[in-house]
Amino acid sequence: DGGITQSPKYLFRKEGQNVTLSCEQNLNHDAMYWYRQDPGQGLRLIYYSQIVNDFQKGDIAEGYSVSREKKESFPLTVTSAQKNPTAFYLCASRARRGSNQPQHFGDGTRLSIL
């Protein structure tokens, strides 16, 4: 079945450590997104990519980095510069054509500080 796979489901980070969250999609979507969700809050956009080898900062990009070397993959690295990384991270993708196309989401990764 087509969909978005995020791994791992749970991740723990030590102080000063970089960690990478995986996001893979087989929907043949051009655009991919990373969001952060804090408890009791809506989602906030971290980074997005509309095409391979191109990505743009979202509203809260500081302390995060991404790459888009393949259409199917959009990994997110939470760097040690992100001082409050504990959150639920959601990856999404969307077919670029058509403004009414919804974003489809993965099941998320919960990141916690050890």
Partner 1 sequence: AQKITQTQPGMFVQEKEAVTLDCTYDTSDPSYGLFWYKQPSSGEMIFLIYQGSYDQQNATEGRYSLNFQKARKSANLVISASQLGDSAMYFCAMREASRRDSGGGADGLTFGKGTHLIIQP
- Residue whose tokens read 């749970």: 10
CB 42 within 8 A of CB 55: no
Q: How far apart are CA 61 and CA 73, in angstroms?
A: 18
What single DSSP character describes residue 7? E
Nearest to 2 by CA among 33, 25, 34, 29: 25
What single DSSP character describes residue 30? S
Examine residue 56 and tell whether it contacts partner 1 (CB under 8 A). yes
Examine residue 71 and tell whether it contacts partner 1 (CB under 8 A). no
Smallest gap from residue 44 Cβ to partner 1 (A): 7
Examine residue 93 and tell whether it contacts partner 1 (CB under 8 A). no
Report the Cα–Cα distance between both ends of the chain, in Å, rounded.
Answer: 35
User: How many residues of this chain interact with partner 1, rule: CB under 8 A?
Assistant: 28
Examine residue 27 and tell whether it contacts partner 1 (CB under 8 A). no
Examine residue 42 and tell whether it contacts partner 1 (CB under 8 A). yes
Among 13, 22, 27, 50, indicate the residue that binds partner 1 (CB under 8 A): 50
Examine residue 90 and tell whether it contacts partner 1 (CB under 8 A). yes
**Would you tell me which residues interact with partner 1 (CB under 8 A)?**
31, 33, 35, 40-45, 48, 50, 56-59, 88, 90, 92, 99-100, 102-108, 110
